[in-house]
Amino acid sequence: MAQPDWAAMAQAFQQIANEVALVPNMFGVPAGQQLQQQMMPQMGHMLEVQQQMLGVQQQMLGTQRQMLATQQQMLATQQQMLGQLQQMQQQLNQIAQGVATLNTNQALLPMRLHNTACSEDAPLRYPTGVVVAAPLPHSRLDLHRLTANNCQVVAAVLGLPGLPPNTPVLQRRKQIADFLGAPFV
């Protein structure tokens, strides 16, 4: 274990004692005034620095407040823009659904035009891909003779929305006729 160096300690204490002897009597008025006069320029400078620091702190506080207000405005604008984007997305979805409906109707148009112009006993046309077999009506006359159960089967084959169970047979026939473009009276 290391031992203290007594000679070095003595030398350090001697140096401290020499420095203390150089300090004038602090309790005496002339020495206190002398010290006060010597410290006044430094104290004034320190006060100026403190005032400058206070001014900088106040400026920083003002800047922080402005930044917070700007951040809150940006957040409000961002939320507003998000709402607008959601509305636009809904509108685009509606437009896409409308376009899909138009495309479907356009694809069915030749069939519907034929069925509108054909006679009561002429063969009906169906959408591409539908296999024409019973109970699908062959003509408009056959359409008038469909039963409620047959109407439900035909509607399902054509992909039409289901109607409530108590729907009259005439309304079921009309649903099929409207889809096919066949006049139904």
Is residue 136 a contact partner of residue 154, using CB atoms and an 8 Å limit? Answer: yes
- pLDDT (tens, 9 = 90+) of the chain, 185 residues, equals 677 777 776 777 677 767 766 765 555 556 566 666 777 777 777 878 788 888 888 999 999 999 999 999 999 999 999 999 999 999 999 999 999 999 988 999 999 999 999 999 999 999 988 888 889 999 999 999 999 999 999 999 999 998 998 999 999 999 999 999 998 77
Sheet strands (E) in 84-181: none
In terms of Cα–Cα distance, which of 134, 128, 139, 132 is closest to 183? 139
Element containing residue 54 per DSSP (H, E):
helix 29-117
Looking at residue 156, its amino acid is A
Q: Which residues contact 66 (CB under 8 A, 6 or more apart)?
A: none
pLDDT digits 0-9 by tens, 152-175: 999 999 999 989 989 999 999 999
Each domain of the chain, given as residue ranges in start order, spans: 98-180
Q: Is the peptide bond before 165 cis (omega within 30 degrees of 0)?
A: no
